[in-house]
Amino acid sequence: MTSATRALQAAGEGRLELQALVAALSRRYTVVSGPRLLVGRVQLDTFDRRLRAEGLALEHQRLATGELLVLRRPGAASAVAVPVTGLRWPALVEVLPTGPIREAIAPVIGVRALMVTSDEKRRMRRLELHNEDGKIVARVELDEPASGAGAPAQVTVRSLRGYDEEARRADRLLVGLGLQALDRPEDREPSSAPPKSGPSRAVPARLVLTKALIDYLMTIRENLPGLLDDVDTEFLHDFRVAVRRTRATLKLGRPALPDAMRLEWEPAFRWLGDLTTPVRDLDVYELDLPVMSQWLVTADPADLEPLATHLRGRRTSERRVLVRSLRSARFRRLIMEWGEELARLLDGSGDADCEPLSAGHLADRSITRAYRRVARGGALIGADSPAEDLHELRKRCKELRYALEVFDALIDDAARKRAVDDLKEVQDVLGRFQDTEVQRRALREFAGEMMADGTTAGAMLAMGELIGHLDVEQNRARREFDVPFARLVRPSNRHLMHQVGGAT
């Protein structure tokens, strides 16, 4: 297997001459030069760069002789190449041929689509360096831009496992020719960035809130194109999370923000959140359907095909409504004016009517209050509590979570982590409870619609089985609630949450 030793380029404005390279390397090796290839090199990753986060690099190479998908892994940087045909981007992992590349990246990218992050045409020539046994002991790649634009020409020496010394020798021969090491950004170790310095507790709360709101607005803007193009379901998900965080921040920030926020912007973002709910719900059903089909005991998974068709149809029409709204003047105005509003808040010109609270004070107040509401709401939950009460409690938990996130720079990391870990467990149980509740209700609704469309009896029976399974799951979630909740409100945690909330 191969790995790059280092890349070299000509000094100054000098050119890389193939003949000179071959002559230098021939002093020690038998050099076999491959044909000059024009290669289209398309770098791929998900929108949120999941491959890069795992140290993976995926490239779609288009050559005259065919197409290759090349995956470089971290560590040994060994590359796996598989032939492919007819791939177009963006695309979900399912379009990749089954095999090692798909197996390696599927768990990393999940439901996200692969998108083009850069696209460049290069001229490449590969040289093989053979020893006296005729064995290839190193490879050298000459890589030039196909046109004037693009990264400059470079030579990469690729070492072969067990023959590292030969690659170093080849490198020395090329350096002797006057080539210089190329400092490629992707080869550099991450710079030792200065430690994150958060705002102090004395900073005006308005500033901390506004910065968080600006971040959420950026997320909304970044995800909009992928959402409109329906690249993958996560664009809508991330868009919705940013909207939800905006709403939660506006709510918890009421004491420190101008009244206009509550009167004008809270309803505006409620509208935006509600707008996206139907499509997201349908996405969740579609994504969950393969798992749900495994619950079936008596029915056949194929019996759910009419449900899948129904979901797709519903999603198409709901998406049409969503896209129309997101292309509307109302939405464009909302985003534009919200940006302007935040800019005014940031420079202090829009906060004449708000209370001059410090960030520390608001953090204390918000976190303590949110925690108290969670503790009080959770204590009232019993075996007979209606589903609405659990749903309300879930919302309170989310508010506490957002408060911990918005003010995370003011809170001790270890304390926050412990608080969030316990909170997450409660949220997980409540999430399962609520999801099963919503799914049960939705399945009944879909069943009614499908009956009207004359669906099969098999589909109805299979859906009935799913509802039965959801009942069992919901009861299980309810039974499991007490333990994580007791952990969240135990005395040591209560003390911790007050500490996190800054009551010191």
Partner 1 sequence: MKVLATYNIKGGVGKTSTAVNLAYLAAREGRRTLLWDLDPQSAATYMFRVRPRVKGGSHALVTGGRPIEAALKATDFDNLDLLPADFSYRNMDLELDDTKKRTRRLGQLLKSVEDDYDIVFLDCPPSVSLVSENVLHASDTLLVPLIPATLSLRTLDQLTRFVADSEGSRPEVVAFFSMADRRKRLHRDVIEAIPRDRTRIADTVIPALSIIEQMAERRAPVPAFAPTSRAALCYEELWAEVRPF
Q: How far is the CB of 61 from partner 1 (least distance, A)?
A: 13
**Is residue 160 at the binding interface for partner 1, with CB under 8 A as the rule?**
yes
Stretch that binds partner 1, among 160-168, 203-211, 290-298, 492-500 (CB under 8 A): 160-168
Q: Which is nearer to partner 1, 69 or 420 (CB)?
A: 69
**Is residue 442 at the binding interface for partner 1, with CB under 8 A as the rule?**
no
- Helix or strand (DSSP H, E) at 40: strand 37-45
**Is residue 1 at the binding interface for partner 1, with CB under 8 A as the rule?**
yes
| Contact string 36-75 vs partner 1 (x = CB under 8 A) | ----------------------------------------
**Is residue 2 at the binding interface for partner 1, with CB under 8 A as the rule?**
yes
Q: Which is nearer to partner 1, 44 or 322 (CB)?
A: 44
Q: Which is nearer to partner 1, 31 or 304 (CB)?
A: 31
Q: How far is the CB of 85 from partner 1 (least distance, A)?
A: 15
Q: How far is the CB of 73 from partner 1 (least distance, A)?
A: 9
Considering only residues 11, 38, 76, 343, which one is a binding residue for partner 1 as defined by CB under 8 A?
76
How far is the C-alpha of 358 from the C-alpha of 371, rounded, in Å? 20
Stretch that binds partner 1, among 22-30, 157-165, 246-254, 462-470 (CB under 8 A): 157-165
Q: How far is the CB of 99 from partner 1 (least distance, A)?
A: 5
Considering only residues 12, 35, 107, 162, which one is a binding residue for partner 1 as defined by CB under 8 A?
162
How far is the C-alpha of 252 from the C-alpha of 341, rounded, in Å? 18
How far is the C-alpha of 368 from the C-alpha of 403, rounded, in Å? 10
Q: How far is the CB of 44 from partner 1 (least distance, A)?
A: 16
Stretch that binds partner 1, among 156-164, 338-346, 433-441, 481-489 (CB under 8 A): 156-164
Q: What's the full length of the chain, in residues?
A: 504
- Helix or strand (DSSP H, E) at 443: helix 413-452
How far is the C-alpha of 385 from the C-alpha of 381, rounded, in Å? 6
- Helix H segments across 327-412? 329-346, 359-379, 387-406
Q: How far is the CB of 386 from partner 1 (least distance, A)?
A: 51
Q: Which is nearer to partner 1, 108 or 438 (CB)?
A: 108
Q: Which is nearer to partner 1, 82 or 106 (CB)?
A: 82
To the nearest 10°, report the CA torsion of 237, 243, 246, 248.
-80
Q: What angle do CA 481, 482, 484 make, to 5 degrees?
A: 75
Token readout for 266 is 């809270």
**Is residue 454 at the binding interface for partner 1, with CB under 8 A as the rule?**
no
How far is the C-alpha of 137 from the C-alpha of 277, rounded, in Å? 58
Computed on alpha carbons and rounded to an integer, the radius of gyration of the chain in Å comes to: 29
Q: Given the DSSP bridges, would you call strands 2-10 and 115-130 parallel, antiparallel or unpaired?
A: unpaired
Stretch that binds partner 1, among 146-154, 159-167, 277-285, 457-465 (CB under 8 A): 159-167
Q: What are the contacts of 151-154 at 24+ separation with CB within 8 A?
A: 151/120, 152/9, 153/9, 153/10, 153/15, 153/16, 154/7, 154/8, 154/9, 154/16, 154/182
Cβ(374)–Cβ(422) under 8 Å?
no
Q: Which is nearer to partner 1, 73 or 391 (CB)?
A: 73
Total site size for partner 1, rule CB under 8 A: 20
With tokens 């809508």, the residue in question is 236
Q: Which is nearer to partner 1, 14 or 100 (CB)?
A: 100
**Is residue 223 at the binding interface for partner 1, with CB under 8 A as the rule?**
no
**Interface with partner 1 in residues 99-138 (CB under 8 A):** 99-101, 128, 133-136
Q: Which is nearer to partner 1, 68 or 284 (CB)?
A: 68
Q: How far is the CB of 255 from partner 1 (least distance, A)?
A: 53
Nearest to 226 by CA among 108, 61, 116: 116
**Is residue 22 at the binding interface for partner 1, with CB under 8 A as the rule?**
no
| Contact string 135-154 vs partner 1 (x = CB under 8 A) | xx------------------
Main-chain phi, psi angles of 253, to 5 degrees: -90, 5
**Is residue 290 at the binding interface for partner 1, with CB under 8 A as the rule?**
no
**Is residue 233 at the binding interface for partner 1, with CB under 8 A as the rule?**
no
DSSP secondary structure letters along 353-370: TS---BHHHHHHHHHHHH
**Is residue 79 at the binding interface for partner 1, with CB under 8 A as the rule?**
yes
DSSP secondary structure letters along 263-289: IIIHHHHHHHHHHHHHHHHHHHHHHHH
**Cα within 13 Å of Cα(129), Cβ side:** 30
The DSSP 8-state label assigned to residue 203 in this structure reads: S
3-class secondary-structure state, position 178: coil
Considering only residues 163, 265, 402, 407, which one is a binding residue for partner 1 as defined by CB under 8 A?
163
Q: Which is nearer to partner 1, 86 or 134 (CB)?
A: 134
How far is the C-alpha of 175 from the C-alpha of 25, rounded, in Å? 11
Q: How far is the CB of 103 from partner 1 (least distance, A)?
A: 8
Q: How far is the CB of 83 from partner 1 (least distance, A)?
A: 9
Stretch that binds partner 1, among 55-63, 77-85, 293-301, 304-312 (CB under 8 A): 77-85
How far is the C-alpha of 425 from the C-alpha of 192, rounded, in Å? 34
**Is residue 161 at the binding interface for partner 1, with CB under 8 A as the rule?**
yes
Site of interaction with partner 1 (CB under 8 A): 1-2, 76, 78-82, 99-101, 128, 133-136, 160-163
